[in-house]
Structure 1
Amino acid sequence: MPFEAEVPNIQVHSGEPIRVHEVFKFGGSSLGTAPRVLAAARATLAESNVSAVVVSANGNNTDHLIQLCDDKALLDEALTGDSKLLAKQLKTLIEQQTELARLCISDKYLNEYIELLHQDQNSISRWLNNGHPNLTRADIIAYGEVWSARLFALALEFLNEQNKNRKFTSSRWIDARNVLRFNKNGFCESTSFAKLQATLNQTKTTHERNINVITGFVASDHMGKTILLGRNGSDYSASLIASLLDAKKVTFWTDVDGVFSADPNSVSEARRRDELSYQNAFTLSQLGSPVLHHRTLSPLESNAIELTIRRLDTEYASNQNNTETNKLKVGSSIRHQDLNQKEDWIVHVKKDLALIDLECVPEQYPILLHFENNIGQLQTNSLNTALSLALIDPQLELLTLDNTHADFKHVSLISVITHNSHQLQDWFAQFFTQHNITPIQLLTMPNALVALVDDKQLDDGQSTASKDNIESLLHSALSNLHTELLVGLIGPGQVGGEVLDRIASLQPEANLAKRCRFVLLANSKQQVSLNELTQWSSTLNESSGLKQTADQDLVQFSKKLKSLVHTDTVQSVIIDTTGSDQVATYYSQFFSDGHHVITANKVAGSSHSTNYQLLQHVARDNAVKWLYESTVGAGLPVIQTIKNLIQSGDRIHSIKTVCSGSLAYIFNQYSQGTRFSEAIAQAKQKGFTEPDPRLDLSGIDIARKLVILAREAGANLELNDIALPNWLPNSVCDAPSLDIDKHANQLDAYFDSQVPTTPTALVPLAQIDFQYGIQTDQPGYIVANARLELTDVDSDSPFHGLLPGDNLFLIESEFYQDIPLVIRGPGAGATVTASGVLADLLTLLSSKHL
């Protein structure tokens, strides 16, 4: 088709032409049902800068009209005088369009619309029966756009009338055949500008706003006859009209969210590209993407018009008076931009193609991609000769051409569109080597890396990739290319959620943001892949049907994370922000799968020494780190400080600590006269305690911390070595759950009996004493004795006057005998615990592992 040629720059003429700020274009799928037509109309009315709208035919009307024109069997029957079946199909089409109109507009507008529709039906019927010589096949097919434009203009009038608060708007429909004219060479004639301006002047009224609805897909040739603009024709129409009107923006409303980093139907991790350069968009269209066509982009790029691709939500159909939702700018914007500042790479895979000598392809067959001088000559493996080749659809079954056998291969085109193509060409080649694939050819374009792969290699089982997963594998590898650490997080609750939100809020150039990528989440109900960190919460909420993360599913979580690591430069870490015994039992599995582990979960670190030492060995054997700074002191650098002292040759004599922010707060409030039960309720409300405060009040949380501290100091200590006080009555301990209001009297009476005098500064003081040189079966000959007591401290004690939620660690050692080392600060709450997790993440990134 001659109008497939690229359109030259369209210069806006001098004078005072009518200009628009933004052009909307709605595709057939966006106008296929009444809710969608109404949604499109409301979206248009909601944007005051839009005064020109280009529309495609409603739904599948164009396909139905083409079938009427081209169904040889029906037409042959009509020629013999039997046109009943043809008439029936036409009648069905008209009835469907009539019903669509009934659902979109009121009777005030409907009668006129139906009358015109029946006139068109008579014209089409006459042509189909060879009785309307003034019409052509293209004229018949163009009716789909005409019906759509008429209906859309009336829908705008109808909705505007319904909303009495909106400024009055006038809408008219314009037949693009009256304003867009192409010359013999397929270029849009310069006279189109004058025709469009004259038409808009004719439709301009005194109303505060005029919206012009223009048919897409159709135009006229130099003789004034109807021509159809082919694939993406309505997009092309919108681009031309936006250029002629010197628009700043054009928005294509479709049934997709925009341009993605890969096909979201094939790659679950595909992410929408908020911005895309025109250079990369052109390359994507050149490689056969159905989303964009190069002729659509040409007039926009040459006139610096921003193109946005957005999904039309039918929410507009149910929000007649609320158009605020339209102001949420989503989708993909294509514009000129600094390529050095934007990374808008896209993985594009075209499957089931045929590689064939271009000279053997007849002109009537569509060539998807023509490798010529602008890309580079292909080299065959068998011939040391440059051949110009083309990719065509193998469905054409070109087994013989001009009585000559066509030697072609079934291939897949695998490409990465990126401005860094030259820097990534070695990496691109290595990707195929890693998956045991030898491409027919690797090409480096200015904005893309392209591989032609024989489908046999993807189907024979010799490669670790297949036709079904090659796109996903390449996308994952590219996503991880500039990332050193892939992260799977278990427990996106208070602490985990704080970790995710903190990372998401960082600037892109921040160390953690650049070097870490969160890819998997799991909670007690499900596990999901994470594409956009800022949307982690909605990702969980929208995926309620996924697997339970129990038993085997935690193994699958680990295996899934491992499968995403495709290069030696990328490593993985699992962050556990739960308090779950079950999750802790899988640390050995995580280590064996090659994952580092960062945890706020104290269970594994305080488990029996046999298990603890086993975990240390498994981590060491797999060259991974196990970091748990936040298990003691939340975000305070307690564990790292003890490690530094030991590694520098110091010996710790004792550690005295108030290391439970929740208990410190509860007993502090009690000392000031608050009832015990009320103090517990306040601590729970502030997020200081576990969901069930009995876990804190049992003392087991403090005991676990003491075990971890003792082991960091080089001694062995077991949980059952520590005698814990009993601060709760048995009836409360044995209850299925803690109802503070219900158990208030029991809690208060029992605890008051444990504290006979009125305390002034009651604190849960824990202490570990270390003895050296004692012969035991443990390494280092260090014995640790630990205890926990509720103590009323004097005013001169460093533990007096702790702020609510504070932790304090007083360390006496050979280096710190006269003046103990003191670490003090907030030790409870999601915020500070998340800080400890992030500190471990930074420690991991700064270690020799990465």
Structure 2
Amino acid sequence: MQVLKFGGTSVGSAKAIEQVCHILKQYKPAGRYAIIVSALGGVTDKLIRCGQLAGQGQEDYKNVLLEIETRHLDAIRELFPITAQSGQISQLKKKLNALENLCDGIFQVGELSPRSLDKIMSYGELMSCVIVAEKLKQKGFSAACKDSRELIVTDNNFGHATVNFIATNHNIAQFFAQQPADYVVLPGFVAASNEGETTTLGRGGSDYTAAIVAAAVHASVLDIWTDVSGMMTADPRIVSQAIPISHISYEEAMELSHFGAKVIYPPTIQPVMDKRIPIWIKNTFAPEDHGTLIQDSADRSFPVTGISGIQHIALLTLEGSGMVGIPGFSKRLFESLLQERINVILITQSSSEHSITVGIHETDMLKAKTAVDSEFAQEIHDKRIEPLLVEKDLCIVAVVGDKMKNHHGTSGKLFGTLGRNGVNVRAIAQGSTEKNISAVINKADLKKALNVMHETFFETPLKQVNLFIAGVGNVGSKLLEQLQQQQNYLQNELGLQIRVTGLANSKYTLLSESGIGLNNWRQQLEQGNEMNIPAFVAQIKAMNLRNSVFVDNTASSEVAAVYHEFLQHGISVVTCNKIACSSDYSYYRQLKDLARRFNASFLFETNVGAGLPVINTLNDLIRSGDKVHSIEAVLSGSLNFVFNHFVNGTSFREVVKAAQDEGYTEPDPRIDLSGKDVMRKILILARESGAAIEMDEITNYSFLPDACLDAASVPDFYDQLDVHAQHFQELRSAAAADGKRLKFVARYEDGKASVGLQSVAPDHPFYKLEGKDNIVLYTTSRYQEQPLIVKGAGAGADVTASGIFADIIRSARL
């Protein structure tokens, strides 16, 4: 014999019931089938609402009754020809009249008891059962309808009755032994007490009915037909990449269903699991899909079968030195919760016995606080324990799998993944069978946590990275071009799916959780919100996306001032903006410490040398135990361009203007020519070498006259270059007379740093430095006789963007 259960959506409309008949035709005609049906989708909620309104003395319950009647009448009129409708409508009217009389009585009394509510709720299944059975008869099936209340016996715990399996199994076995029909339709969810009072089986009651019947008749299989194609690796409403689980063990299904997988409920599995009857979860509206088969064992290579979560959790912590070594505290805690009928979802206890923590539903936390504090009132008064600590706005995430116990590092993988994404774990629980690892986290982190967990355990080919980019000018636009160009390579070769989820310039901000198209980002950005940095930061944090990276392509001190907010939230920062790392040493140190503390990346390779590996090389030297003795460098591509092109017959103004037009200088060239930009760069290198140095400790041997530096505007600055043209010609001529070339050099040695214009001889490594190139010489304990040299293009939007791109990839792969 085979048992099939069809849920509320599977019988939710005339079309759906027709589909049920079609599915049943696919089964072997010689078999016998018990068919368990739920109420029409949404009807149970309407019945509950009806009872509540009647109990509150509100006549609106009559309108709800009318909606229920209309829903069923419409189904009958669509399913049956006119000649066959009268009998159906007559049966329906009898049930609806009884329901109306019951609600009228509740309205008169003004009280809705659990007993009355059970009776009201039962009508949904009782009505759908008759409709489905009659439709099967019309289709030519040998069908009959049987009231489950005549078979399933329970106690009087209305709302969640406990089944008397001895009496129930006897009734079911006897009934089916005598029933000639091949297809017997039974209402799910409903039962009756020994006294004949209607009871219900609680959440997932129709599934439970099906499991009870399947176990009683020793069914070959239990098919549960619903509106999804089986159990999924995660909730697809939260994790869009979730995939169906083809096979799963009973124990794994129990764990996942306990932790929120709503396809099936924990009590459903127990009766059939005891008899080792397979459960097949199928999709009524896609019957060709494989679905999920639940049975003894499942042969899979992955240690984790699925991930799930429970929302609206509160943590209760009982702690105090008076608990240590004293038996009975746990017993009293759980008894006090039991008396208030509070379900405990998670338990964890410190090995010192100083505290015990349990997880419950948030709706019960006030009752729990009152009950526990009352139970331990004397100990609290005597200061032996603290009043019960209650924390809310939490949730539980869990990974489930039979094979986890045979795979080392599953826990480390889980908590490492959460940590890298800034998800704080408040409590941990793991069963002794090692089939489940649970963690309590903030409710706001649920979506991000489930997605990164799924990515870690099920999506090894691709890791999704979410970018928030501030600054889309020369460098930013080149970066977006490179990202678009390299999408396929990143996915196919590095397993990275890099999405731009935020853009900002000085006027507008644009955020999109699903990603911003890189073909028309300019038009989209112009339709964005007005730029407001605090609001932009708050929105990014509120989105709480996994593997988030904030990219700063600006030169804004206001943007640099918010890096700490991102790092504290576990969002990595990649920047070519030198302001943060060259600001007060305390802020620089804070950012480095926050990145380490919150497992985020803080990468700024392009602060020095654009795309050159200047900082990474230095970091590698320091990490490997080398010691820096001195750093000598030409760190300004724009200044190198200027002095390489400042030859006889060319004015200094012309060369500077050409450098600006080529994009080698800042919009205000004085930032480059003053040496301030180079000061920032040598400061950053000195700090990365381990020096706690400030900007005002760097000596600047400026070559610009004060009148140039103090000019009121950029045009005025250019005018002053003409005024002081002779000064610049004399600098060039003096160097040329000695056979030397002018280079703006930065130096760090013995804890002191300086920048300034120097004349370098032909035998110096700087002499032949051409174009906009940068060069850095590291003299270290390992490189004393011959410095380590890093040389190459040190300016330009393309190379800077490529350096930022490299940092993004480095951050994503950490």
Question: If the length of structure 1 is used for normalisation, what is the TM-score?
Answer: 0.48
What are structure 2's unaligned runs of at least 5 residues?
A: 110-114, 317-332, 375-386, 467-480, 482-486, 502-513, 526-544, 549-573, 576-608, 618-812
Residue identity matched to 1:379: S
- CA positional deviation for 1:121: 2.3
Q: Deviations over 1:626-665 (max 9, x none)?
A: xxxxxxxxxxxxxxxxxxxxxxxxxxxxxxxxxxxxxxxx
1:60 is aligned to: 42
SS at match of 1:550: coil
- Which residue, out of 191, 195, 204, partners 2:180? 204
Distance in structure 1 (CA, Å) of the matches to 2:266 and 2:183: 28
- CA positional deviation for 1:333: 1.7
1:419 is aligned to: 402
> Is 2:201 aligned against 1:229?
yes
What pairs with 1:734-813 in structure 2 (closer than 5 Å)? none
Compared with structure 1, are the counterparts of its residues 393 and 105 closer, same or farther at alpha carbon in structure 2 (3 Å cutoff)?
farther
2:124 is aligned to: 144
Distance in structure 2 (CA, Å) of the matches to 1:235 and 1:60: 16
Q: Deviations over 1:704-755 (max 9, x none)?
A: xxxxxxxxxxxxxxxxxxxxxxxxxxxxxxxxxxxxxxxxxxxxxxxxxxxx
Residue identity matched to 1:416: V
- CA positional deviation for 1:292: 2.8
- CA positional deviation for 1:186: 2.8
Distance in structure 2 (CA, Å) of the matches to 1:478 and 1:211: 43
* 230-239 or 260-269, larger mean C-alpha shift: 260-269
- Which residue, out of 105, 109, 113, partners 1:130? 105
1:189 is aligned to: 165
- CA positional deviation for 1:311: 2.3
1:34 is aligned to: 14
1:298 is aligned to: 270
* 387-396 or 213-222, larger mean C-alpha shift: 387-396
> Is 2:358 aligned against 1:389?
yes
Distance in structure 2 (CA, Å) of the matches to 1:615 and 1:335: 59
Identity of aligned residues (%): 18
- CA positional deviation for 1:122: 2.4
SS at match of 2:279: strand
Residue identity matched to 1:550: N
- CA positional deviation for 1:151: 0.5
Q: Deviations over 1:670-717 (max 9, x none)?
A: xxxxxxxxxxxxxxxxxxxxxxxxxxxxxxxxxxxxxxxxxxxxxxxx
1:596 is aligned to: none
Residue identity matched to 1:176: S
SS at match of 1:247: coil
Residue identity matched to 1:55: V
Distance in structure 1 (CA, Å) of the matches to 2:14 and 2:144: 20
Compared with structure 1, are the counterparts of its residues 551 and 233 closer, same or farther at alpha carbon in structure 2 (3 Å cutoff)?
same
- Which residue, out of 454, 457, 461, partners 1:478? 457
Distance in structure 2 (CA, Å) of the matches to 1:403 and 1:368: 17
Residue 358 of structure 1 contacts residue 388 of structure 1 at CA under 8 Å; is this kept in 2?
no
Compared with structure 1, are the counterparts of its residues 87 and 279 closer, same or farther at alpha carbon in structure 2 (3 Å cutoff)?
closer
2:134 is aligned to: 154
- CA positional deviation for 1:469: 1.3
- CA positional deviation for 1:231: 0.4
Residue identity matched to 2:450: E
Number of matched pairs: 475
Residue 277 of structure 1 contacts residue 339 of structure 1 at CA under 8 Å; is this kept in 2?
no
- CA positional deviation for 1:189: 2.7
Residue identity matched to 1:175: D
Residue identity matched to 1:385: H
Residue identity matched to 1:119: K
- CA positional deviation for 1:229: 0.3
Distance in structure 2 (CA, Å) of the matches to 1:521 and 1:440: 30
Q: Deviations over 1:791-849 (max 9, x none)?
A: xxxxxxxxxxxxxxxxxxxxxxxxxxxxxxxxxxxxxxxxxxxxxxxxxxxxxxxxxx9
- CA positional deviation for 1:143: 1.5
SS at match of 2:253: helix
Compared with structure 1, are the counterparts of its residues 263 and 85 closer, same or farther at alpha carbon in structure 2 (3 Å cutoff)?
closer
Residue 261 of structure 1 contacts residue 346 of structure 1 at CA under 8 Å; is this kept in 2?
yes
Residue identity matched to 2:291: G
Compared with structure 1, are the counterparts of its residues 32 and 468 closer, same or farther at alpha carbon in structure 2 (3 Å cutoff)?
same
Question: If the length of structure 2 is used for normalisation, what is the TM-score?
Answer: 0.50
Compared with structure 1, are the counterparts of its residues 397 and 178 closer, same or farther at alpha carbon in structure 2 (3 Å cutoff)?
same
Compared with structure 1, are the counterparts of its residues 521 and 85 closer, same or farther at alpha carbon in structure 2 (3 Å cutoff)?
closer
- CA positional deviation for 1:546: 8.7
- Which residue, out of 438, 442, 448, partners 1:450? 438
What are structure 1's unaligned runs of at least 5 residues?
A: 1-18, 78-83, 161-167, 314-324, 372-376, 460-465, 491-495, 504-515, 528-544, 557-562, 567-591, 594-613, 623-848
Residue 429 of structure 1 contacts residue 442 of structure 1 at CA under 8 Å; is this kept in 2?
no
> Is 2:27 aligned against 1:47?
yes
Compared with structure 1, are the counterparts of its residues 195 and 394 closer, same or farther at alpha carbon in structure 2 (3 Å cutoff)?
closer
Distance in structure 2 (CA, Å) of the matches to 1:72 and 1:105: 33
Residue identity matched to 1:195: N
2:145 is aligned to: 173
Compared with structure 1, are the counterparts of its residues 95 and 428 closer, same or farther at alpha carbon in structure 2 (3 Å cutoff)?
closer
Compared with structure 1, are the counterparts of its residues 551 and 67 closer, same or farther at alpha carbon in structure 2 (3 Å cutoff)?
closer
What pairs with 1:423-572 in structure 2 (closer than 5 Å)? 423=408, 424-445=410-431, 446-453=434-441, 455=442, 466-479=445-458, 550=519
Compared with structure 1, are the counterparts of its residues 517 and 106 closer, same or farther at alpha carbon in structure 2 (3 Å cutoff)?
farther
Residue identity matched to 1:389: V
- CA positional deviation for 1:57: 0.8
> Is 2:290 aligned against 1:330?
yes
Residue 44 of structure 1 contacts residue 50 of structure 1 at CA under 8 Å; is this kept in 2?
no
Residue 262 of structure 1 contacts residue 270 of structure 1 at CA under 8 Å; is this kept in 2?
yes
What pairs with 1:823-834 in structure 2 (closer than 5 Å)? none
- CA positional deviation for 1:280: 1.1
Compared with structure 1, are the counterparts of its residues 38 and 69 closer, same or farther at alpha carbon in structure 2 (3 Å cutoff)?
same
Residue 378 of structure 1 contacts residue 388 of structure 1 at CA under 8 Å; is this kept in 2?
yes
Compared with structure 1, are the counterparts of its residues 468 and 108 closer, same or farther at alpha carbon in structure 2 (3 Å cutoff)?
same
- CA positional deviation for 1:44: 2.0
Residue 262 of structure 1 contacts residue 346 of structure 1 at CA under 8 Å; is this kept in 2?
yes
2:381 is aligned to: none
Distance in structure 2 (CA, Å) of the matches to 1:170 and 1:345: 40
What pairs with 1:226-375 in structure 2 (closer than 5 Å)? 226-313=198-285, 326=287, 328-338=288-298, 341=301, 343-356=303-316, 358=334, 361=337, 363-367=339-343, 369-371=345-347
Q: Deviations over 1:550-586 (max 9, x none)?
A: 3769xx9xxxxxx9889xxxxxxxxxxxxxxxxxxxx
- CA positional deviation for 1:65: 2.1
Residue 183 of structure 1 contacts residue 222 of structure 1 at CA under 8 Å; is this kept in 2?
yes
Distance in structure 1 (CA, Å) of the matches to 2:164 and 2:12: 29
2:95 is aligned to: 120
2:530 is aligned to: none
Distance in structure 2 (CA, Å) of the matches to 1:402 and 1:520: 49
- CA positional deviation for 1:438: 4.6
- CA positional deviation for 1:419: 2.5
Distance in structure 1 (CA, Å) of the matches to 2:336 and 2:119: 35
Distance in structure 2 (CA, Å) of the matches to 1:225 and 1:440: 45
What pairs with 1:574-723 in structure 2 (closer than 5 Å)? none
- CA positional deviation for 1:51: 1.7
Residue identity matched to 1:63: D
Compared with structure 1, are the counterparts of its residues 88 and 263 closer, same or farther at alpha carbon in structure 2 (3 Å cutoff)?
closer
2:52 is aligned to: 70
Distance in structure 1 (CA, Å) of the matches to 2:463 and 2:102: 66
- Which residue, out of 72, 79, 85, partners 1:110? 85
Residue 62 of structure 1 contacts residue 144 of structure 1 at CA under 8 Å; is this kept in 2?
yes
Residue identity matched to 2:127: W
Residue identity matched to 1:228: T
SS at match of 1:408: strand
Compared with structure 1, are the counterparts of its residues 293 and 617 closer, same or farther at alpha carbon in structure 2 (3 Å cutoff)?
same
Residue identity matched to 1:196: I
Compared with structure 1, are the counterparts of its residues 65 and 552 closer, same or farther at alpha carbon in structure 2 (3 Å cutoff)?
closer
- CA positional deviation for 1:478: 2.3
Residue 420 of structure 1 contacts residue 447 of structure 1 at CA under 8 Å; is this kept in 2?
yes
Distance in structure 2 (CA, Å) of the matches to 1:487 and 1:436: 14
Compared with structure 1, are the counterparts of its residues 85 and 358 closer, same or farther at alpha carbon in structure 2 (3 Å cutoff)?
same
